[in-house]
Amino acid sequence: MRVAIAGLGTVGAAVADILISRRDLIAARCGRPIDVVAVSARDRSRDRGVDLSGMEWFDDAAVMATEADADVVLEVIGGEDGIAKAVCENAIAAGRHVVTANKALLAIHGKALAQSAETACVGLGYESSVAGGIPVIKALREGFAGNRISSIHGILNGTCNYILTTMRETGRDFDDVLAEAQALGYAEADPTFDVDGIDAAHKLALLASVAFGCEVDFESVHVEGIRHVSADDIAFADELGFRIKLLGIANQTPDGIEQRVYPCMVPMNAPLAHVEGVFNAVVAEGDAVGTSVLQGRGAGAGPTASAVISDIADIARGTILPVFSVPASQLTKSITVSIENRVGPYYVRLTVLDRPGVIADVSAALRDEEVSVEALLQRGRSAEGSVPVVLTLHETQEAAMQRALSRIAKLDTVVESPCMIRIEYL
């Protein structure tokens, strides 16, 4: 089987290296040899640590997708539109199988690409687009094929998990740890997609589609990032018996589908509480299998290339599955449950002036929205006379919580915007 690779960054080069160096092993496992016959990248002169001699080189990846003598086109360029989209569309139109690591592309154009691939009777593999080396797409589509999945949630972004882990271990604040993550290569120069939750939201939209048989609906994912999480919040979480994690959470409920990405507190005894550093983990709840936890490296050349080759191997064996578990024509249009309907406990940190009656005013705002306080922590005052006050709140509806916080923020004695973090008992 012949493969063309569009993009020779760390992942594309790693895939080429593995396919070349382990050719005999892969051939034995797949029943036939797999050869890289064409590549495309912007810079021909760069040393990528792999022998590309004998391969046809294309300056235009979209042209390669149409003209290369290849059975499979691998797209590892990235981006939700532009050349990456053209490569996938051209390859499918030419009757070639496509493998991609591009979660942004699939989160936006997944249904259309799935329809095109299924009409053309070609495969569209994307195991590497979610959770790196964890075979979560394969688990959902194949391992759990006999299950009705009610919930899938997890740590889907290694950059955020690294930052939150390091903040907890060192007591340093977000900006400091982010700069370190960028220096180490764990975070991009522009970290927006990671730290603002967008990357995790792309992945969650794909997982929800595979798990629930619904159309990919990235626009309906409620997204919050981790910029507002402070070292104080992490220390208070530890004192209260929680860890703060950026989670993607998708639930199938009688009212519709919930899709949410936000930092939340999880109990110390939860499986995800001890997933640290750059690792990812995904938890699926099936009616037959029960709770399954998958954990591993969520990014990096090796884990991502491993997942890419898994898709290529499936195609070599003749395994072509519906892209999102069921044929694209059978994907349901999901009803989205608003974040305002969430019911659960909350953590709130306030910075207030140390004056008589402050707690009474805060309590009144909560009382009027029928929000009940579970516990209250107060620490010593600062030089400016302000004090941090932490509240944990019993289960309440998100809409009521937001109304109460809006009232609290307007109090003259509250000197900073309230910090609210949801508590999830998963």
What's the Cα-to-Cα distance from 114 to each of 67, 221, 318, 327, 416, rounded to whole Å?
22, 20, 18, 8, 47
DSSP result, 329-390: GG-B-PPBPPGGG-EEEEEEEEEEE--TTHHHHHHHHHHHTTPPEEEEEE----TTSEEEEE
Q: What per-residue confidence (pLDDT) applies to 300?
A: 84
d(CA 99, CA 323): 11
Q: Which residues pair with residue 152 across a beta bridge?
A: 250, 284
Residue 270 burial (CB count, 10 A): 17
- Cα dihedral sign, 206-77-281-233: negative
Q: Residues 141-297: name the CATH superfamily.
A: Dihydrodipicolinate Reductase; domain 2 (3.30.360.10)
Q: Which residues pair with residue 73 across a beta bridge?
A: 4, 98
d(CA 122, CA 309): 17
Residue 106 burial (CB count, 10 A): 28
> Which structure tokens are listed for 158?
């290694």
Q: For residue 132, which of 323, 310, 335, 313 has the smallest C-alpha distance?
A: 310
Looking at domain 2-129, which of 3.40.50.720, 2.60.120.10, 1.10.579.10, 2.30.130.10 is its CATH number?
3.40.50.720
Q: Please identify every residue annotated as catalytic.
A: 203
Q: What per-residue confidence (pLDDT) applies to 380?
A: 66
Contacts (Cβ under 8 Å, ≥6 apart) of 260: 221, 222, 248, 249, 250, 339, 342
d(CA 36, CA 8): 12
Residue 368 burial (CB count, 10 A): 12
Is the pTM above the cut of 0.85? yes
Q: What per-residue confidence (pLDDT) applies to 381?
A: 66
Q: Which residues pair with residue 153 across a beta bridge?
A: 249, 283
- Give the domain ranges of the chain: 2-129, 141-297, 340-423
Q: What per-residue confidence (pLDDT) applies to 132?
A: 86
Contacts (Cβ under 8 Å, ≥6 apart) of 164: 226, 229, 234, 244, 245, 246, 263
Architecture of domain 340-423: 2-Layer Sandwich (3.30)
Q: Tens-of-pLDDT digits for all 426 residues of the chain?
A: 999 999 999 999 999 999 999 999 999 999 999 999 999 998 887 888 898 888 999 999 999 999 999 999 999 999 998 999 999 999 999 999 999 999 999 999 999 999 999 999 999 999 999 998 899 999 999 999 999 999 999 999 999 999 999 999 999 999 999 999 899 888 888 999 999 999 999 999 999 999 999 999 999 999 999 999 999 999 999 999 999 999 999 999 999 999 999 999 999 999 999 999 989 999 999 999 999 999 999 888 899 999 999 999 999 999 999 999 999 999 999 899 999 999 999 999 999 998 888 999 999 999 999 999 999 998 766 656 788 999 999 999 999 999 999 999 999 999 999 999 999 998
